[in-house]
A and B are shown apart, each in its own frame.
Chain A
Amino acid sequence: DTGVSQDPRHKITKRGQNVTFRCDPISEHNRLYWYRQTLGQGPEFLTYFQNEAQLEKSRLLSDRFSAERPKGSFSTLEIQRTEQGDSAMYLCASTGGLNTEAFFGQGTRLTVV
């Protein structure tokens, strides 16, 4: 196991385009989280999955954002009609069992121009 992996690591897109990010959690972890981090701030919670069920969405997750975890393994985060304010690092994390430690991926840095 190589930890949580995210793809791509960097994405530059034009305003108005759609983007999709992928997260592969640690294989035995059933819980997966998406966070957004802007410069100089701590990660902000976006949404959470337990297996394939999306159990919570933050108010930060506007209608342009959608996340899926179709088979309870990898997850995707899609942003439609990107805006410059969407520019940030998008982090994925996973936990499993009684483990309280959240393992974060390297993140996808999105730049909207």
Chain B
Amino acid sequence: GQQVMQIPQYQHVQEGEDFTTYCNSSTTLSNIQWYKQRPGGHPVFLIQLVKSGEVKKQKRLTFQFGEAKKNSSLHITATQTTDVGTYFCAGPRGGTSYGKLTFGQGTILTVHP
């Protein structure tokens, strides 16, 4: 079945350092979504990428979708303590419902002030 893998599992950074998490799918994806889960919280949608090679930015966050639509990355510039949490990528499980997702195991980001 479809597998979505993320690396690294953990990342500890000093405030102000950059952070990147990578996501790889065993199958070609029609789209990829990214979610953030704060400690003790629930996943919150960040963005969806659809096109091959697509790059989207949200303030200090940059998301990329690979040319082959099998990999993606999230880069945070100059991390802040508010960036703490687990970042998940997720690909659709098939069909037309975007809410049926296969999640990666996530990258846990801690930011030391």
Cβ < 8 Å to A, chain B residues 3-38: 4, 31, 33
Q: How far is the CA of A99 from the CA of B96 in the complex (A)?
A: 11
Binds A, one of B55-63, B66-74, B75-83, B97-105: B97-105
**Residue tally, chain A, CB below 8 Å to B:** 25
Contact residues on B (Cβ < 8 Å of other chain), bracket: 20 to 34
Name the residue among A33, A45, A106 with the largest chain B CB count within 10 angstroms. A45
Contacts of B106 in A (CB 8 A): 40-42
Q: Which of B4, B42, B88 contacts A106 (CB 8 A)?
A: B42
Quote the shortest CB–CB distance from B41 to chain A (angstroms).
8
Q: DSSP majority for the A interface?
A: strand
Q: How far is the CA of A41 from the CA of B95 in the complex (A)?
A: 24
- Asked whether, in the complex, the Cβ of A104 is within 8 Å of the Cβ of B43, the reply is yes
Q: How far is the CA of A48 from the CA of B48 in the complex (A)?
A: 20
Q: How far is the CA of A55 from the CA of B44 in the complex (A)?
A: 24
Cβ < 8 Å to B, chain A residues 49-68: 50, 55-56
Known: A43-B88, A93-B43. 9 other contacts (CB 8 A): A33-B100, A40-B105, A42-B88, A42-B105, A43-B101, A45-B102, A93-B99, A102-B45, A106-B42
